[in-house]
Homo-oligomer: A and B are copies of this chain.
Amino acid sequence: MTVTDHYPTRVSEEASIVDRKEPVVRGSEGDGPLSRAQLDAFDRDGFLLLENVFTAGEVDDILSELARLAALDEVKADDRTITEPESDAVRSIFEVHRIHDRFAGLAGDERVAGAARQIVGSDVYVHQSRVNFKPGFRGKEFSWHSDFETWHAEDGMPAMRAVSASIALTDNHVFNGPLMIIPGSHRRFVACVGETPEDHYKASLKAQELGVPDDQSLARLVEEAGGEIATLTGKAGSVVLFDCNAMHGSNSNITPYPRSNVFLVYNSVENRLVEPFAAPKQRPSFIAAREFTPV
């Protein structure tokens, strides 16, 4: 089967911007938990903030399970656990929905999985899951990027038909390095320069340098957004849903307030992965699942 590459990237010395080919929202009100207004906002902005989705009790329960996991020697030693560049602190645990039942349940929770189905307009499977810990005092910034650019180039995701859910486990303030998104950027695809080296993911999970758009393209996206950059603040228990191609990043965090979240990526079962479009080989399945069982 030959799949046409609608989003060539990492193939030229010149950056370029092309329009999105696919619709953003395919489902309707009634297909899931989101209202028409919420679907419209997601369609327009490429993201949606939902407050008070999980209760304080649910968040506490998740946090204590995570503390337990992150302290286990077998988890620390696991390839799926990523540590901070300059210390041994756990930064992310991948495939957390397979490591522990609690997170399998979370991945199938109607409040997030149902919203994802409603947006992509089909059944979904978990393309990637992870927990992120962004420590206080020395939390590092994360450069602007479109997840789809990487998933397309390195994982062979054909089309923009995936949605991410970030479940806040700590309060996101304006000052502790919250997620920032350029509104409307999900409708534009920035082809990045450079060529993907083998096993690039090992370095890129610590600090992304390839697949990062150039300054000029970024400035243009912000200009097209009328100068706006959305800062996604919200209490623990809130959820941000965002399109796979939304341009996002975060500043550093020097405050004492850490930031933790559970990150779940739902891809349409009609958009399963093929061979990478711009990388010598597939990334490990804990980063890009190749089992397409619907949740």
Query: Chain A interface (Cβ within 8 Å of chain B)?
Result: 136-137, 141-144, 173-175, 177, 180, 215, 218-219, 222, 229, 231, 249-256
B residues within 8 A CB of A231?
174-175
In the complex, A142 Cα to B289 Cα: how many Å?
Answer: 39
Choice from B142, B218, B251 contacting A253 with Cβ under 8 Å:
B251
Choice from B142, B143, B249, B251 contacting A251 with Cβ under 8 Å:
B251
B residues within 8 A CB of A218?
137, 256
In the complex, A204 Cα to B237 Cα: how many Å?
Answer: 40
> Do the beta carbons of B173 and A229 come within 8 Å of each other?
yes
B residues within 8 A CB of A173?
229
- Closest CB-CB distance, A43 to chain B, in whole Å? 23
B residues within 8 A CB of A175?
174, 180, 229, 231, 251
B residues within 8 A CB of A256?
215, 218-219, 222
B residues within 8 A CB of A144?
254
What would 17 A/B residue contacts be, using CB atoms closer than 8 Å?
A136-B215, A137-B215, A141-B254, A142-B254, A173-B229, A174-B174, A175-B180, A175-B251, A180-B254, A215-B256, A218-B256, A219-B256, A222-B255, A222-B256, A250-B254, A251-B251, A251-B252
- Closest CB-CB distance, A221 to chain B, in whole Å? 9
B residues within 8 A CB of A142?
254
- Closest CB-CB distance, A14 to chain B, in whole Å? 19
- Besides A173-B229, A174-B175, 10 more A-B contacts (Cβ < 8 Å) are A141-B141, A141-B254, A175-B180, A177-B251, A180-B255, A219-B256, A222-B256, A229-B255, A249-B254, A251-B251
Among residues of B, the one whose C-beta sits closest to the C-beta of A219 is: B256
Choice from B136, B137, B174, B252 contacting A252 with Cβ under 8 Å:
B252
B residues within 8 A CB of A252?
141, 251-252
Q: Which of A137, A142, A174, A250 has the most CB of B within 10 A?
A: A174
Choice from B141, B177, B219, B254 contacting A143 with Cβ under 8 Å:
B254
